[in-house]
């Protein structure tokens, strides 16, 4: 429903968004890896001083089982203030929550009781496939033409994956976004540079290559995604493809600069076939086209093969497995999750071509099993994975599960879920909040986190 | 002009002011381009093409009324215009938020003109002028050249008022007020606009 004045959580610029009030709630996607119980959106109290701080205060169970909740997002955000396509009187009120495995999409209303959102609409897999011609919905972004959904496969579960649009008020599926997809076949993440009318998409793989776990032959054959695609955001045509080379596998999370005048962003490649390292690349505008440069390389760490899962025994090393990255609102700090080694790193990327490591914490990890001050049982498994930053950049939250069947390939005993929080220093440096360690309910594992009112990977802005 | 007095002209100017105040009609886009390109010049340069796009959209409505007025009598034109306005308000209320976005922040002069034309047409900006256009454009066919000059002058006056308003607001926001004003001050023009269209339409039907 429309309002008389803009939603107070919409900010014209990232600079203004940094002045937003401190978030009090976090929404976390939570799934049952055995697919016996319904997945859920879990609500966590993150309000400093609250009697239930760092506790789960609400759970919204999905109506089915086996959805595999993964990523999700808001129906509307600061992009609604854009001058060329204004929708300023929409409300940031609904969470759009897809099941990556089921291709079902749930709409949750958080307005009346933010701690116990209500499911107000469920788009069944058949409807999603028929209307959009896509399945395996993944990334959700609110943008100039409504809700953009990146999906990993077409209606038949094959290539091409792509992007479709949903109405941000009725949640009807409006159809495929692309008008000319050029050579693009694989999909994963989607985001954009609103100031440069450019959309960027990245690549994972097709469902057959991940729904039963990563396939070693496909990985070692360099057949997972290794390209970036650049599109004209308004003509919806493919403009450019950049190939990172087959040795840089799994090109995942897209973090364009929040400042819309800046034409650069960061993306991670999870693993290099050459030496098991992980890398971060900066894409940037060069003349009339886009270019990339590798700016961070994190090497694998030698380890006792006895501590390693079968997949890694032969290598005698732990790959860092950079599976998520996130950029602070002032475009200054990049947070890097090393799900393999257990590092969560903070880099100063003021110069996007010369990142400086400014902080590291370690928790979990395939070989290290590092603990947390508040953890009860010492050795933690899983590692830093989905990471989210508060708008003011002072608090960083993350969880430890990657994807149900892939978790067991690297942590064979399974993952005991946890969520932690870091406090970040304004000038660099991070430390655990010793009071914030949430042991996840044993039946479920936590994945993406969304913060009340917006966070550093939810909103995009049209004004510098 | 003597027949109707000054009110149609005041209406053209007044609606120019109303349209110009709406952030979706251009001043906000001009401010954004100024901020992106870091220059007041960019703010000012963005305004004329947007005014031109708006004027073209208005002119298409005026020309249609003129053409209709040549073949049917004034009352029929008023009735048809009234019905059209009410239908447009209904459409806008229901589907106004769903539009393809064709022009973005890298728009040039032509892009801005096209954007403004689409915005004005989609919002029914010209339709809102119908009550003032109809008396000016009908019943004058016999008078020859004047029949074209008067509607042209009307569109010109409306556009001048719009341009002056968007220019003043854009400069004020760019130079002094800043974008924080959007967070509280961006009232729901779409709602006012839809109401204005529906009300105008009903009045025209009643008085047809």
Please give the domain boundaries of chain A with CATH numbers for all domains: 14-451 (2.130.10.10)
Q: Do A12 and B98 touch (CB under 8 A)?
A: no
Span A258-286, mean pLDDT? Answer: 98
What Rg do the C-alpha atoms of chain B give, in angstroms?
Answer: 18
Model pTM score: 0.96
3-state secondary structure chain A: CCCCCCCCCCCCCHHHHCCCCCCCEEEEEEECCCCCCEEEEEEEECCCCCCCCCCEEEEEEEEEECCCECCCEECCCHHHHCCCCCCCCCCCCEEEEEECCCCCEEEEECCCCCCCCEEEEEECHHHHHHHHCEEEEEEEEEECCEEEEEEEEECCCCCCCEEEEECCCCCCEEEECCCECCCCCCCCCEEEEHHHCEEEECECCCHHHCECECCHHHHHCCCCCCEEEEEECCCCEEEEEEECCCCEEEEEEEEECCCCCCCEEEEEEEEECCCCCEEEEEEEEECCEEEEEEEEEECCEECCHHHCCHHHHCCCEECCCEEEEEECCCCCEEEEEECCCCEEEEEECCCCCCCEEEEEEECECCCCCECCCCCCCCCCCCCCCCEEECCCCCEEEEECCCCHHHHHHHCCCCCCCEEEEEEECCCCCEEEEEEEEEECCCCCEEEEEEECCCCCCCCCCCCC
My answer on whether omega of the bond before B36 falls inside 30° of 0, hence cis, is no
Both tokens of residue B145? 């050249």
Cβ contacts of residue A307 below 8 Å, gap of 6+?
A366, A367
Q: Do B183 and A8 touch (CB under 8 A)?
A: yes
Look up the ipTM and state it: 0.92
Give residue A80's region: left, alpha or beta (phi > 0; psi -120 to 50): alpha
The nearest CA of chain A is from the CA of B93 a distance in Å of: 10
A213-238 tens-digit pLDDT: 999 999 999 999 999 999 999 999 99
Q: For residues A346 and A326, what is the distance between their CA atoms, to the nearest angstrom?
A: 10
pLDDT of residue B1: 41
What residue ranges do the domains of chain B occupy? 7-207
pLDDT of residue B15: 94
What Rg do the C-alpha atoms of chain A give, in angstroms?
Answer: 20
Query: Using CB atoms, which residue from A5, A12, A197 is nearest to B105?
Result: A197
Q: Assess whether pLDDT exceeds 70 at residue B145.
A: no
User: What does pLDDT average to over chain A?
Assistant: 97
Q: Residue A123: which pLDDT band, with cuts at 50, 70 and 90? A: very high
User: What does pLDDT average to over chain B?
Assistant: 88
Q: For residues B91 and A278, what is the distance between their CA atoms, to the nearest angstrom?
A: 52
Sort out which chain B residues have CB atoms less than 8 A from A197's CB and list them.
104-106
Q: For residues B65 and B160, what is the distance between their CA atoms, to the nearest angstrom?
A: 21
Span B103-120, mean pLDDT? Answer: 95
Q: Which of B21, B25, B96, B104 should one mutate to test binding to chain A, selecting the residue with the greatest count of A CBs within 10 A?
A: B104
> Rounded to 5 degrees, what are φ and ψ at A94?
-115, 140
pLDDT of residue B67: 84
Q: For residues B158 and B128, what is the distance between their CA atoms, to the nearest angstrom?
A: 12
Q: What angle do CA B8, B9, B10 make, to 5 degrees?
A: 95
B154-185 tens-digit pLDDT: 999 999 999 999 999 999 999 999 999 999 88
pLDDT of residue A2: 75
Sort out which chain B residues have CB atoms less than 8 A from A167's CB and list them.
98
Give residue A187's region: left, alpha or beta (phi > 0; psi -120 to 50): beta
Q: What is the largest CA-CA distance in chain B?
A: 54
Q: Indicate the angle between helix axes B146-172 and B40-71, nearest 10 degrees.
A: 150
**DSSP summary character for residue B2:** T
Q: For residues A16 and A278, what is the distance between their CA atoms, to the nearest angstrom?
A: 34
Q: Assess whether pLDDT exceeds 80 at residue B99.
A: no
Q: Assess whether pLDDT exceeds 70 at residue B3.
A: no
Nearest to A343 by CA among A299, A310, A311: A299
Yes or no: say if A96 and A88 are a contact pair by the CB < 8 Å rule.
no
Sort out which chain A residues have CB atoms less than 8 A from B23's CB and list them.
83, 86, 88
Q: Which of A82, A165, A234, A461 should one mutate to test binding to chain B, selecting the residue with the greatest count of B CBs within 10 A?
A: A234
pLDDT of residue A331: 98
Contacts across the A-B interface (CB distance below 8 Å)? 93
pLDDT of residue B76: 86
B66-75 tens-digit pLDDT: 888 778 887 8
Q: Do A195 and B105 touch (CB under 8 A)?
A: yes
Half-sphere exposure of residue A165: CA atoms within 13 angstroms, side-chain side: 19
Q: For residues B35 and A392, what is the distance between their CA atoms, to the nearest angstrom?
A: 23
Q: Assess whether pLDDT exceeds 80 at residue B7.
A: yes
pLDDT of residue A131: 98
pLDDT of residue A194: 98
Nearest to A451 by CA among A16, A44, A8: A44
pLDDT of residue B142: 42
**Which position has the higher pLDDT, A378 or A74?**
A74
**Which position has the higher pLDDT, A111 or B68?**
A111
A171-230 tens-digit pLDDT: 999 999 999 999 999 999 999 999 999 999 999 999 999 999 999 999 999 999 999 999
Q: Assess whether pLDDT exceeds 50 at residue A292.
A: yes
pLDDT of residue B2: 43
pLDDT of residue B144: 57
Q: Do B188 and A87 touch (CB under 8 A)?
A: no
pLDDT of residue B72: 81
pLDDT of residue A376: 84
Q: For residues A151 and A188, what is the distance between their CA atoms, to the nearest angstrom?
A: 7
Q: Assess whether pLDDT exceeds 70 at residue A386.
A: yes
Q: Residue A363: which pLDDT band, with cuts at 50, 70 and 90? A: very high
Query: Using CB atoms, which residue from A83, A234, A261 is nearest to B28?
Result: A83
Sort out which chain B residues have CB atoms less than 8 A from A10's CB and list them.
183
Give residue A316's region: left, alpha or beta (phi > 0; psi -120 to 50): left
Nearest to A185 by CA among A234, A236, A151, A235: A151
Q: By percentage, how much of chain A surpasses pLDDT 90?
A: 98
Q: Assess whether pLDDT exceeds 80 at residue A133.
A: yes
pLDDT of residue A1: 58
Both tokens of residue A326? 């996130």
B29-60 tens-digit pLDDT: 999 999 999 999 999 999 999 999 999 999 99
Both tokens of residue A84? 């060329």
Cβ contacts of residue A97 below 8 Å, gap of 6+?
A29, A41, A62, A69, A72, A105, A106, A107, A108
């Amino acid at each position: 429903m429309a309002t008389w004045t803009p939603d107070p959580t919409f900010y014209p610029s990232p600079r203004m968004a940094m002045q937003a009030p401190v978030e009090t709630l976090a929404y976390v996607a939570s799934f049952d890896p055995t697919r016996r119980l319904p997945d859920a959106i879990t609500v966590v109290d993150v309000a400093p001083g609250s009697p239930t701080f760092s506790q789960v205060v609400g759970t919204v169970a999905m109506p089915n089982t086996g959805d595999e909740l993964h990523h999700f997002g808001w129906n509307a955000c600061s992009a609604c203030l854009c001058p060329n396509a204004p929708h300023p009187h929409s409300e940031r009120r609904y969470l759009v929550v897809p099941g990556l495995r089921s291709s079902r999409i749930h709409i949750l209303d958080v307005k009346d009781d933010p701690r116990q959102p209500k499911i107000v609409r469920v788009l069944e897999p058949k409807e999603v496939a028929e209307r959009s011609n896509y399945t395996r919905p993944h990334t959700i972004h609110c943008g100039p033409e409504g809700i953009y959904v990146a999906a990993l496969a077409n209606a038949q579960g094959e290539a091409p994956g792509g992007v479709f649009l949903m109405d941000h008020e009725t949640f009807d599926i409006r159809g495929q976004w692309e008008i000319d997809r050029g050579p693009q076949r694989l999909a994963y993440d989607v985001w954009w540079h609103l100031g440069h009318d450019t959309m960027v998409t990245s690549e994972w793989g097709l469902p057959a290559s991940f729904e039963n776990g990563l396939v070693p032959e496909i990985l070692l054959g360099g057949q997972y995604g290794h390209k970036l695609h650049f599109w004209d955001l308004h003509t919806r045509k493919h403009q450019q493809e950049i190939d990172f080379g087959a040795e840089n596998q799994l090109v995942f999370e897209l973090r364009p600069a929040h400042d819309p005048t800046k034409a650069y962003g960061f993306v991670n490649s999870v693993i290099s076939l050459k030496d098991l390292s992980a890398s971060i690349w900066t894409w940037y505008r060069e003349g009339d086209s886009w270019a990339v440069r590798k700016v961070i390389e994190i090497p694998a760490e030698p380890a006792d093969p006895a501590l390693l899962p079968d997949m890694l025994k032969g290598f005698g090393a732990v790959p860092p497995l950079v599976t998520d990255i996130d950029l602070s609102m002032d475009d200054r700090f990049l947070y890097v999750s090393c799900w393999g080694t257990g590092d969560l790193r903070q880099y100063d990327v003021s110069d996007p071509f010369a990142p400086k490591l400014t902080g590291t914490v370690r928790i979990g990890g395939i070989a290290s099993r590092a603990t947390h001050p508040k953890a009860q049982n010492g050795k933690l498994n899983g590692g830093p994975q989905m990471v989210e930053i508060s708008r003011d950049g002072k608090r960083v939250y993350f969880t430890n599960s990657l994807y149900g069947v892939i978790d067991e390939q690297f942590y064979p005993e399974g993952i005991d879920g946890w969520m932690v929080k870091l406090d970040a220093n304004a000038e660099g440096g991070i430390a655990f909040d010793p009071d914030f360690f949430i042991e996840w309910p044993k039946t479920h594992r936590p994945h993406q986190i969304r913060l009340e009112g917006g966070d550093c990977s939810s909103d995009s802005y049209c004004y510098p | 002009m003597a027949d109707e007095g000054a009110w149609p002209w005041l209406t053209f100017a007044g609606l120019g002011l109303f349209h110009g105040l709406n952030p979706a009609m251009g001043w906000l886009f001009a401010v954004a381009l100024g901020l992106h390109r870091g220059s007041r010049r960019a703010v000012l340069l963005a305004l004329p093409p947007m005014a031109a796009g708006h004027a073209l959209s208005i002119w298409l409505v005026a020309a249609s009324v003129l053409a209709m007025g040549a073949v049917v009598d004034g009352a029929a034109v008023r009735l048809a215009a009234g019905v059209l306005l009410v239908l447009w308000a209904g459409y806008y209320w229901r589907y106004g938020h769903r539009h393809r976005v064709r022009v973005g922040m890298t728009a040039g002069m032509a892009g801005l003109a096209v954007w403004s034309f689409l915005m004005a047409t989609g919002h029914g900006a010209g339709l809102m002028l119908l009550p003032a256009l109809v008396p000016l454009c009908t019943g004058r066919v016999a008078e020859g050249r004047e029949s074209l000059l008067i509607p042209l002058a009307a569109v010109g006056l409306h556009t001048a008022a719009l341009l002056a308003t968007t220019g003043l607001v854009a400069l004020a926001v760019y130079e002094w007020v800043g974008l924080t004003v959007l967070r509280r001050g961006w009232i729901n023009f779409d709602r006012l606009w839809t109401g204005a269209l529906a009300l105008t339409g009903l009045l025209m039907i009643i008085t047809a």
